[in-house]
Homo-oligomer: A and B are copies of this chain.
Amino acid sequence: MTATKAEAAAFMAAEFPQSKCVLEDLTPGTATVSHAIGHDELRPGGTVSGPVLMTVADVALYVAILGEIGIVPLAVTSSLTINFLRKPSAQAAIIGRCQLLKVGRTLATGEVLLYSEGNSEPVVHVVGTYAIPPATLTTQ
């Protein structure tokens, strides 16, 4: 069972209504998300705020997993390890590209690279795991 890009985008809009994340692409095992950067996303000094970066990574991972297992609202983030590599641009959108590493019965793990749009050097690396509720699985 899988979710299409349209299904995943509709679910994201309902689940993260405050989020400005836009689902750009969804293919088997990967997802690409973008997030516009403006005044609200910046900290003094022109740095994109950490929580915005985390949001993009978390959403990219979530959507990539939905693409594999279908719409599972109760899947929850179990762990995230975030490495901050470079200062993101204050003038460019943040692009998050997720690559799944393993989708198991109860855990799904993937990594996300975040970029400032137009720059090929990653600004953040995230590896994270979602827990998939057993109840969900028995009903599939």
Contact = CB atoms under 8 A, between A and B. Distances in A.
Interface of A: 14-18, 40, 43-45, 49-52, 54-55, 58, 73, 76-86, 101-102, 105-107, 109, 111, 121-122, 125, 127, 129, 131, 134
Contacts of A105: 134
A109 B81 contact: no
A128 to B, nearest CB: 9
Given A51-B52, A81-B127, A127-B127, 8 more contacts: A18-B49, A50-B54, A76-B84, A79-B79, A80-B82, A81-B82, A101-B122, A111-B125
Given A44-B17, A55-B51, A102 B86 contact: yes
Interface of chain A: mostly helix, strand, loop or mixed = mixed
B50 A77 contact: yes
B83 A129 contact: yes
B134 A109 contact: no
A102 to B, nearest CB: 4
A129 B129 CA distance: 11
A16 B127 CA distance: 26
Contacts of A43: 15-16
A85 B109 contact: yes
